[in-house]
Homo-oligomer: A and B are copies of this chain.
Amino acid sequence: MTQQKATNITWHDGNVTREERARALKQKGATVWMTGLSASGKSTIAVALEQVLLQRGKLAYRLDGDNIRHGLNKNLGFSAEDRAENIRRIGEVAKLFADAGIIAVTSFISPYKADRDNVRKLHLDAKLPFFEVFVDLPLDVAEQRDPKGLYKKARAGQLKGFTGIDDPYEAPVKPELHLKTHRMSVEESVRAILELLESGGTLRA
């Protein structure tokens, strides 16, 4: 302990620990990784989850296409290599947020199992909780919803390598949570994630 002469300014050797952060925030850092087809409901659930957590005094932050594709990953395209790098970087940033004590909530299609498994390993190696949430809507239903008209464009050949149409979606084998959003409301999905976080000890110091 390095005691300083003046009042109010004291610090100890070494970094702020995760335990100190958890006590201050009354929560533990974690990553909630949502994966699923375009239009499966990932972003809608993430937005609601973030709000509900904040109402309960818990700090979450969403990583999604809006704040990643135009920022950190704006120099990446859609080649196989760039797609892998896209998910790798998002995983690293989620890990930093989790390390900071925050609940990182990501909503990316993240169709490849290997990429998701790498992100899981990153977290587990750092002793940070990783919750893979499979937002599972049948392709035909997603295609009917098609709020952005992307499936239509993909079917017309105007979008190449579109997940579910001409690129595979590799479903999670053992996700921490499997949300069948065809038969669940947003509220039910949010509640299920909250229960997952509660049972994982994330929502307390």
Interface residues on A, range: 35 or more
The DSSP consensus for interface residues of chain A is helix
Please tell me how many copies of the chain the complex holds.
Answer: 2
Which of A30-38, A56-64, A109-117, A138-146 faces chain B? Answer: A56-64
Q: Does any Cβ of B come within 8 Å of A71's Cβ? A: yes
Quick one: CB contact mask for A142-168 with B, threshold 8 Å, 1 for yes?
000000000000000000000000000
Which of B54, B72, B75, B96 touches A61 (beta carbons < 8 Å)? B96
A170 close to B (CB within 8 Å): no
Q: Mark A11-23, 1 if CB is under 8 A from B, else 0.
A: 1101110001100
Which A residues, 35 to 85, have Cβ-Cβ distances below 8 Å to chain B?
47-48, 50-52, 54-55, 57, 59, 61-63, 67, 71-72, 75, 85
A96 with B63: in contact, given A4-B187, A89-B72 (CB under 8 Å)? yes
For A95, the chain B residues whose CB sits under 8 A away are: 71
Measured in the bound complex, the distance between the Cα atoms of B90 and A89 in whole Å is: 11
Whether A47 touches B187, Cβ cut-off 8 Å, given contacts A67-B99, A100-B97, is no
